[in-house]
Amino acid sequence: MSDLFKDKNISPMLMYETTAFSDKDYIFELKLDGIRCIAYIDTKSVVLQNKRFKDVTAIYPELASMYKCVVNRCVLDGELICLKDGKPDFYGIQKRSLMTDRFKISLAARKNPVQFVAYDILYIGKKDITALPLTERKMLLEKNVKDGNNLSISRYVEEKGKEFFELVKEQNLEGIVAKKKDGRYYIGKRTREWVKIKVMQDEDLYIFGYLPDSGGNVKDLILGFFDKDGTAVCRGKVYLGVSSEDRKLVAQYALNNKVSTPWFSQYKNAVWLKPRLKGTAHFMQQTPNGSMRQPVWKGLRDDI
């Protein structure tokens, strides 16, 4: 019989995406803007593993003492986060995750330590508890784990998902996660018992050009806007959501509206256009360089 702790081959439970809702059969947690991680914690040691089964323990030395916060050996599902101005900073944790130099890692660990936020417990003592209802696992999590040493427990609200989502939106956070109270933990599976609700925003942008595919057809749209001084500002590129109809319209427009001077130097081999076509992009937060995070094209607009 397999042992979750010894085997260390847990792939985190996944979730679908939906819109905000309220339901007495669900709890609602903050969707943390970090990196998913499984923590195997014994009485004297901690092993951290990302969702691709890579041991990342050495990258986060500040988490080595998390074992002091647990009563029994356990396996926790959670998120690695960095905080900036009191909010999770995805780009901060992403930068940490790519570090390999031990000296730089130790400096970063002291300057801006990573936190592990646990939102589920899958194993305790010598027992697999993934078949227990979520509410029971939450109680066991609170009994077995104490906040401290860069380890904390995710808090949640019951029933009032819509109200919670509006508060999260006001604070410009990533979103929320809804979880069915009586749901079990499905290792490595995507189910609708866990669903994420992201805070997204829309922006109307000009099409400054496009990146062609190998056949010369429209692939990625290059988007931007003009600031108050009339300077073109790049907002990045988008591929997802661009319909075949919109690609045809852009290609047709390009026949008589190309320009030779590049608008933005970072895109090589782009086809540049007179920026008259406008459409709407749907995306998460702005990246540090001003681009859109996870953009999706909603379509061309003929009313503006």
The pLDDT score that the predictor gives to residue 172 is 82
> Using one digit for the tens of pLDDT, what is the confidence trace for 44-87?
999 999 999 999 999 999 999 999 999 999 999 999 999 988 88
Res 285 pLDDT > 80: no
More confident residue, 22 or 298: 22
Distance, CA of 193 to CA of 189 (rounded, Å)? 11
Res 88 pLDDT > 70: yes
Pair 177, 51: CB distance under 8 Å: no
Res 304 pLDDT > 70: no
Q: Which residue is listed with tokens 């942008």?
A: 205
The pLDDT score that the predictor gives to residue 294 is 83
Res 1 pLDDT > 70: no
Res 302 pLDDT > 90: no
The secondary element (H helix, E strand) that includes residue 204 is strand 201-212
The pLDDT score that the predictor gives to residue 149 is 78
Residue 132's pLDDT band (cuts 50, 70, 90): very high
Res 228 pLDDT > 60: yes
Distance, CA of 63 to CA of 34 (rounded, Å)? 15
C-alpha distance from residue 239 to each of 39, 143, 209, 252, 285 (Å): 35, 46, 13, 18, 17
Distance, CA of 88 to CA of 24 (rounded, Å)? 28
Residue 94: left (phi > 0), alpha (psi -120 to 50), or beta? Answer: alpha
**Region 91-120: what's the mean pLDDT?**
93
More confident residue, 149 or 297: 297
Please list, in sequence order, all residues whose beta carbon lies within 8 angstroms of the beta carbon of residue 174, skipping any fewer than 6 positions away: 31, 32, 33, 88, 90, 168, 198, 199, 284, 285
Distance, CA of 150 to CA of 63 (rounded, Å)? 6
The pLDDT score that the predictor gives to residue 282 is 84
Out of 3-7, 84-88, 98-102, 109-113, which region has the weakest mean confidence (pLDDT)?
84-88
Rounded mean pLDDT of the chain?
93
pLDDT above 90 covers a percentage of the chain that reads 77
Q: What angle do CA 166, 167, 171 make, to 5 degrees?
A: 115
Res 119 pLDDT > 90: yes
Reported pTM: 0.76
Nearest to 292 by CA among 234, 250, 228: 234
Distance, CA of 276 to CA of 102 (rounded, Å)? 50
The pLDDT score that the predictor gives to residue 166 is 94
The pLDDT score that the predictor gives to residue 289 is 77
Residue 303's pLDDT band (cuts 50, 70, 90): low
Nearest to 298 by CA among 224, 234, 236, 221: 221
Q: What angle do CA 296, 299, 302 make, to 5 degrees?
A: 150
> Using one digit for the tens of pLDDT, what is the confidence trace for 187-199?
999 999 999 998 8
Out of 19-23, 38-42, 241-245, 262-266, which region has the weakest mean confidence (pLDDT)?
241-245
Q: What angle do CA 14, 195, 156 make, to 5 degrees?
A: 105
Residue 124's pLDDT band (cuts 50, 70, 90): very high
> Using one digit for the tens of pLDDT, what is the confidence trace for 203-221?
899 999 999 999 999 999 9
Nearest to 196 by CA among 212, 183, 178: 178
